[in-house]
Structure 1
Amino acid sequence: MHILIVEDEVGIIQFLQQGLEEEGYNVSCATDGGMGFELIQKNHFDLILLDWMLPKMSGLELCTAIRKKDNTTPIIFLTAKDTVQETIEGLKAGANDYIKKPFSFEELVERIKIHFRNQTDIQLLSLGSIEINLTKHLVTVSNREVFLTQREFELLSYLVRNKGKVCTRNQIIEDVWDIHFDYDTGVIDVFINAIRKKLNLKIEEDYIKTIRGVGYIAND
């Protein structure tokens, strides 16, 4: 699971990043609202931890901007603001949860787990005639079941989650393979070819397009 932390206090970022990575999460960080918005537009995140008071774009403004993009990623506000009106403002902007600073890291981890469990209620992805059931780890094409390896399944799901966005090879290696150093991204092409072969789609149903020299994009 990939978590984005948008927070301008370096000490809090380091504390959260270390703790969440020890819990097994993949973590990215942004130190202002503008940087956070840019990362969100380019990458898929499973959850966003968002500070309220941020440079360039406040947490409230960023939350609103995210929801205007029809992005439903769970957002948890981490903030010292705690009045009823401020809580309502955050929730109206699209936040899913609200934790007051200072907070217990153990409580935060449990809140995160709850949101990930809640996501199991929305476990169907689609791309044209392709349907992906994340709960059952099942892929079908026009109701025909297709067997994919774990890595093939993760790669296809990643592209479909980011439908309409160009996914660079470096992003895919980092987010799907969880590799954060120089690596031969040619392995991605091998997996894409295997996925296409197993899906056995017609030419007009080639929903995964190659962007030469860059990566791939999934489109209906």
Structure 2
Amino acid sequence: MIGGEAEARAFVSARCDAAALERIERFIAALREENTRQNLVARATLDTVWQRHIADSAQLLDHVSRGTKPWLDLGSGAGLPGLIVAAMRPDWPIVLVESRRKRIEWLERMVDALSLAHCRVEGARLESIDTFTAAVISARAFAPLERIIRLSARFSTGNTIWLLPKGQSAAQELQDLPKRQRALFHVEQSQTDPGSGIIVGRLAGKAGS
């Protein structure tokens, strides 16, 4: 379990190169500034930004192999986890889905500022986005698990990895799924918070069938 900002930064550093770490530092500086204009993250969490947001996002990479792409991030908001993944893996195609105008503009500015050529922002509701096959689907504070699956299943195949940080509600949300779907997922312990879990799994067969 990560304990403190120094350990969180070291955790992230061990999973990326110096250029990626510099991109993340720039992201953090921009996040602090932008958060004075719009509430991207809770103000108090900026004191522990490496643990609460950066390492919390970076830990998802431990669940996928190096070549797993493209990555679909739902309700990207401040860019967590999708923009952090893109900063750490700039050669991976990553799609950030966000429907709120100010946050769309923020994400687009950050994609440009960090020179993330393979990362794109889809500024629309998920229901309006053309279907494509994602190798990874992630979502942090986007919607209840059942609704995430219902809205996103068309982007998934039996090989798609679902990575859904759910905080303290992870076990309960998994339990609330129909038994057939529940068996396809499990809860992994978050490395940044002893009370939080990540729902991990794959849907059997072709996504919406």
Q: What is the TM-score normalised by the length of structure 2?
A: 0.35
Task: Name the structure, 1 or 2, with higher relative contact order (CA <8 Å, separation 6+).
Answer: 2
TM (norm. structure 1) is 0.34
Structure with the bigger percentage of strand: 1
* Larger radius of gyration between Structure 1 and Structure 2: 1
